Amino acid sequence: MVTGSTSGIGLGIARELARAGATIVLNGFGDPTAIEATRSAIAGEFGVTVAFEAADLTKPAEIDMLARRCKAAFGSIDILVNNAGIQHVASIEDFPVEKWDAVIALNLSAVFHGMKAVLPGMKRRGWGRIINIASAHGLVASAHKIAYVAAKHGVVGATKVAAIECANDGITVNAICPGWVLTPLVQAQIEARAAANGTSVSAESNALLAEKQPMLAFTTPEKIGQFAAFLCSEAGSTMTGAALSIDGGWVAQ
Ligand code: NAD
């Protein structure tokens, strides 16, 4: 079950878990025809069952329903990737309260609700993998991202609590902390900067990287997906409670 997997990092993770042989449940927003094309392309390419569930994860009741529908269809959720997330960029004094509430609901509270929904089954079966997609912003801050940075620091903390609670249940819980990944979420920030500064998208793209990452290259959704697949493998079975950076050196500074 990969939340927010109709686009970007979540889609990259869904593809790599499908490549490794997992049955996949996609989730997220988007054009139904495009989502169906994505769903059937992954199923065809990797020969696994791929389903789609359109739950809005800002609503706890829909997360609960999503988990129940997955269990009814497939018997269990063995791997949960809490990936769905949004961003809003503004100074604290200009930050709309409704944007704060929306970012916290999706980027932080949905992680809690998702883990709460899957843990009883994972404990019963004695095996589970939970991967929470945090961010470099789960470890360090940037100006104008109050809700996102607060939520992602919260995700890292929630990951540690869950890992400790499940340490001897065959379940690992980790946070992946990416630096810049060129997805629609980041593309929107680059385009907003280009519009505000009267510069080009490619100039702002280079500037965005140079401000934060010693390595001046975007990580790809595919690489995050391969990292997630590793965490689900036997080799990752004693890694738990970790905030794992894949960020071109961002938090090394
Ligand atoms: P994206 O905008 O490409 O994808 C976000 C996904 O979440 C989409 O599938 C969207 O439909 C879904 N979504 C949005 N609101 C939803 C809701 N209410 N309910 C269910 N699904 C919803 O973004 P992305 O860049 O791929 O980001 C994915 C995750 O990675 C986020 O948690 C983000 O914070 C994190 N992240 C991204 C970067 C980056 O550079 N792109 C870096 C670090 C962390």
179-207 pLDDT, tens digit each = 999 999 899 999 999 999 999 999 999 99
Residues 6+ positions from 170 with CB-CB distance below 8 Å: 122, 125, 126, 127, 128
Within a domain: residue 2? no
Tell me which of 148, 180, 218, 227 is the catalytic residue: 148
CB of residue 106 inside a 6 A radius of ligand 1: yes
At 79, list the tokens.
């791997």
Within a domain: residue 72? yes
Q: Mark whether 71 and 140 lie in a shared domain.
A: yes
Predicted complex ipTM exceeds 0.90? yes
pTM for this structure? 0.97
Within a domain: residue 234? yes
pLDDT for residue 143 = 98
pLDDT for residue 226 = 98
Q: Determine the structural domain holding residue 106 and report its residue range.
A: 8-180+219-247
189 φ, ψ to 5°?
A: -70, -40
CA 195/CA 202 separation, integer angstroms: 12
CB of residue 52 inside a 6 A radius of ligand 1: no
Q: Mark whether 101 and 208 lie in a shared domain.
A: no
Q: How close is the Cα of 49 to the center of ligand 1, in Å?
A: 23
Low-confidence ranges of the chain (pLDDT < 70): none
Q: Mark whether 51 and 83 lie in a shared domain.
A: yes
Q: Mark whether 87 and 208 lie in a shared domain.
A: no
Q: Mark whether 63 and 92 lie in a shared domain.
A: yes
Total structural domains within the chain: 2
Closest ligand 1 atom to the C-alpha of 137? 43
pLDDT for residue 16 = 98
Closest ligand 1 atom to the C-alpha of 188? 2
Contact 156, 112 (CB under 8 A): no
CB of residue 219 inside a 6 A radius of ligand 1: no
Closest ligand 1 atom to the C-alpha of 107? 32
Q: Mark whether 211 and 168 lie in a shared domain.
A: no
pLDDT for residue 186 = 93
Q: Mark whether 153 and 212 lie in a shared domain.
A: no
To the query of whether residue 115 is one of the catalytic residues in this protein, the response is no
What's the CATH number where 108 sits?
3.40.50.720
